[in-house]
Amino acid sequence: MNQTKVFAHRGFSSQYPENTMAAFEAAVKANADGIELDVQLTLDEVPVVIHDETLDRTTSGSGLVQSHTVEEIKKLSSGAWFSQTYKNEQVPTLEEVLVWSKDQSIVLNIELKGQISDRYKAASIIFPLIEKHGLEEQVIISSFDHKVIALCKEQAPMLETAIIVFAALFEPVPYLRKVDTLGYHFYYKSLLNEEIEDLIKRGIRLRPYTVNDDHQIKKFIQLGCEAIITDHPKKAVDIRRYYYN
């Protein structure tokens, strides 16, 4: 059985400002296997790494991400809200993260956020960017918007994909087949252990989010999930080391 991977949710977001280079670098240092990051388009259609639809919570700016140009967004601090230590952090562009990741042995789980009306636009910008940097083997594209995941398979079939789900699906296997993906990123409280075991047996790549509690981390490792998505990558790596040794 393969070791369960540890994906750092928004980077090492329990100790660093989420979705910043500081959080991504810290995740690599903590020996995470992957980084989950949220991507949406600016007004001038540049993919940037930020979770919320608005700038208010995690930057020094305010208003919708999609109403600002990348130049405007780049002037903001994306770390000061967390601590003055990180006041010089900026909202990364996806391309900055892609370029940085080339020298890291880390999986990038790119979660596509943003407007449903932007699906085709996002796909036509983001997938070629991944190909341009030769990172097809290093990324997993995921989204709560399952239409964009199906679109990914049509437009960039070589990319690994996953759907994100909050409440359990009624018949996940035929549904996943229909969307043409094996990746199922589920809210960690939404599936029973026997459902998880059954899905793993059927070849589904399960990655629960956001798993921060020690017992839950251990449980998903024991069950054999492909990865866990956590704000505490260092702790998860330590728990995993203990479990496999």
CB 57 → ligand G3P: shortest distance, Å? 12
Active site residues: 9, 51
Q: Is 111 an interacting residue with respect to Mg ion (CB under 5 A)?
A: yes
CB 209 → Mg ion: shortest distance, Å? 7
User: In 71-104, which positions are buried (b, 16+ CB within 10 angstroms) versus exposed (e)?
Assistant: eebbebbbbbbbeeebeebbbbbbbebbebbeee
Listed in sequence order, the residues at least 6 apart from 241 whose beta carbon sits closer than 8 Å to its beta carbon are none
Contacting residues toward ligand G3P, per CB under 6 A: 9, 36, 38, 51, 111, 142, 164, 185, 209, 229
With contact defined as beta carbons under 8 Å apart, do 111 and 231 qualify? no
Stretch that binds Mg ion, among 81-89, 109-117, 168-176, 192-200 (CB under 5 A): 109-117
Q: Distance between CA 161 and CA 213 in Å, rounded?
A: 26
Give the side-chain half-sphere CA count within 13 A for 205. 17
Comparison of 139 and 194: residue with beta carbon closer to ligand G3P:
139
Q: Which residues in 10-39 contact Mg ion (CB under 5 A)?
A: 38
142 binds, among ligand G3P, Mg ion, none (CB under 5 to 8 A by kind): ligand G3P
Residue type for 13, please? S
Count CB atoms within 10 A of the CB of residue 226.
21
209 binds, among Mg ion, ligand G3P, none (CB under 5 to 8 A by kind): ligand G3P
Stretch that binds Mg ion, among 61-69, 110-118, 148-156, 213-221 (CB under 5 A): 110-118
Site size for Mg ion (CB under 5 A):
2
240 binds, among ligand G3P, Mg ion, none (CB under 5 to 8 A by kind): none
Distances (CA, A) of 117 to 53, 131, 172: 14, 23, 26
